[in-house]
Structure 1
Amino acid sequence: MRALVINMGVATERMGVMAAQLDALGIAWERLEAVTPATLEPPEGDPVWHRWQRPMRVTEMALCASHVAAWRRVIALDAPCLVLEDDAVLSTRLPALLEAVAGLAEVEHLSLETRGRRKLVARAPHLAAPIRRLWQDRTGSAAYVVRPEGARKLIAAAARAGAPSDALISSAPGLRSWQADPALAVQLDICGRYGVPQAIPTKSLIDAVAKPPVAALTPAVRRAYRARRIAAQLAMGGRLVRHALDGTRREVQPEGPWVDLSAR
């Protein structure tokens, strides 16, 4: 399975770490130039970026657009792909899992990571791989597998309303999502929580831009954001009720060993 690595041209150290991990794991990969606020299309003022539950940073818009570009590449390749942001830390168990899920057509999207929050997952695992049905995620888009069928659903969702990439994935209508259990990836900034070696220091590129001031919005716009937020919370509550018997909310734990980059 091919990996697609979303990376900004200036982030050479991050790309070096990703290339070293993927080469060590024997995973073929290609780099995708990340969208930046300067190259964002459609531009920041387009209505599609203002239909989510709160005002978005332009850096969040750019990351969402980067993932859309990755989904388009998946469709062009007509094969499931591993999509990675350039701050993912990978377990050496990943290649075996990719092989196990490559032929599972029902797995349209597979989250590989954990990020310190509980997820709503099936109590029973898949019979053919260490994965569980994922009904509600809350955060993280740094490492996942997506099939062309899933990529089409995600692109359609993004065309209706842009959102932070992890929120868009977790709320895309009809997307059949699964969770690796144990998780086989974490982001650099959360390595300390799980005792995972952190190859390089990191800081959030999303947070480099301040949150848009809500006070500057008109009352009507604020009410529209609030209504969408409430609707999303009700939808999450509905999923909890529907899966009260066959699901469980828990923090999925990661498992190594992790790719050794000490000799890099």
Structure 2
Amino acid sequence: MYCLVINLSTATARMSFMADQLNRLKIPFQRIDAFTPEMVMNYENSFEWSSWERPLKDTEKACFLSHVEAWKFAAAQDKSTLILEDDALLSNQTPSVLNSIDEIEGIEHVTLEVRTRKKIVSKIGRAIGSKHQLLRLYQDRSGAAAYVISPSGARKLLARASKEVALADALICKAYELKSFQVEPACGVQLDRAADYGITNPFNTVSQIDSGKPTPITKQASGFRARRIGAQLRMAARALRHVGIAERREIRLDPAHFL
């Protein structure tokens, strides 16, 4: 399995943290340059920037573009890619979990992380190793800091991104065409959520995506509102469609795996 770390060239401390972590876990990786807000203007005509549920900040557009570049890499490979943002904290079980995922056919997307939000997952999972299970993921709400994507999964995300834009994690979450799964206990958590799970934060960070200025609501406000309503209706329909085989709950995380 390949591994990409999305990192701004100026965020050297974050990259050092990620390099130390991945080297300790013996996970080979490549760094990919994250887009900056200043670069967004070069792509103003390349994507449908007004196609989400609200206007995106330039920092959010840059994050989206960074993940698109990672998907382009993943789509061209012969095996799956682990995509990491540079503030992802991984458990000591991650290498064995990744090896197990590599051996299973038909998986297009696996999220390793949790963000204290409930997800809709299958009631019955598939054991991977002695400590984890793989649950079919029917509805996630947020999180793109640590996930595995197959070449076919990456191509599906690129096809969706060519037609509509969203927050990077929102685009993944709404891509129902993906065969998506969730690892439990979770193997990843963003540093800003570590304390919520009783994990000591080894590296203090400030969210870069939250630092951008809000984009003013335009005359397209009614379109944004309609898309928000449509998104809620789609999620409700998704939940009803799988009511017999799935449940909405939080995913477990074992803090002992992060020592």
TM-score normalised to the size of structure 2? 0.94
Q: Is the 8 A contact 1:196 1:258 kept in 2?
A: no
Unaligned runs of 5+ in 1: none
CA distance in 1 between counterparts of 2:125 and 2:102 reads 17
Q: Which residue does the alignment assign to 1:234?
A: 233
**Count of residues in Structure 1 that have an aligned counterpart in Structure 2:** 256
Q: Which residue does the alignment assign to 2:76?
A: 76
| Cα root mean square deviation, aligned | 1.5
Question: How many angstroms does 1:16 deviate by?
Answer: 0.6
State the identity %.
42
Aligned AA (1:250) = R
Q: Is the 8 A contact 2:47 2:162 kept in 1?
A: no
Q: Is the 8 A contact 2:199 2:258 kept in 1?
A: no
For residues 154-177 of structure 1, what are the alpha-carbon distances to aligned partners after superposition, in whole Å with 9 as ceiling and x for unaligned? 011111111101100011241111
For residues 167-215 of structure 1, what are the alpha-carbon distances to aligned partners after superposition, in whole Å with 9 as ceiling and x for unaligned? 000112411110011111000101110111211111111111122122x
Q: Which range moved further: 228-237 or 71-80?
A: 71-80
CA distance in 2 between counterparts of 1:42 and 1:157 reads 20
CA distance in 2 between counterparts of 1:77 and 1:56 reads 30
Q: Which residue does the alignment assign to 2:212?
A: 209
Q: Is the 8 A contact 2:85 2:145 kept in 1?
A: yes
CA distance in 1 between counterparts of 2:47 and 2:92 reads 42
Q: Is the 8 A contact 1:153 1:173 kept in 2?
A: no
Q: Which residue does the alignment assign to 2:55?
A: 55
Q: Secondary structure at the match of 2:182?
A: strand
Q: Is the 8 A contact 1:93 1:257 kept in 2?
A: no
1:177 aligns with 2:180: yes
Unaligned runs of 5+ in 2: none
Question: How many angstroms does 1:251 deviate by?
Answer: 1.0
CA distance in 1 between counterparts of 2:241 and 2:121 reads 12
CA distance in 2 between counterparts of 1:138 and 1:187 reads 15
Q: Is the 8 A contact 2:109 2:150 kept in 1?
A: yes
Q: Is the 8 A contact 1:41 1:65 kept in 2?
A: no
Q: Which residue does the alignment assign to 2:165?
A: 162
Q: How does 1:136-151 map to 2 (within 5 A)?
A: 136-151=139-154
Q: Which residue does the alignment assign to 1:252?
A: 251
TM-score normalised to the size of structure 1? 0.92
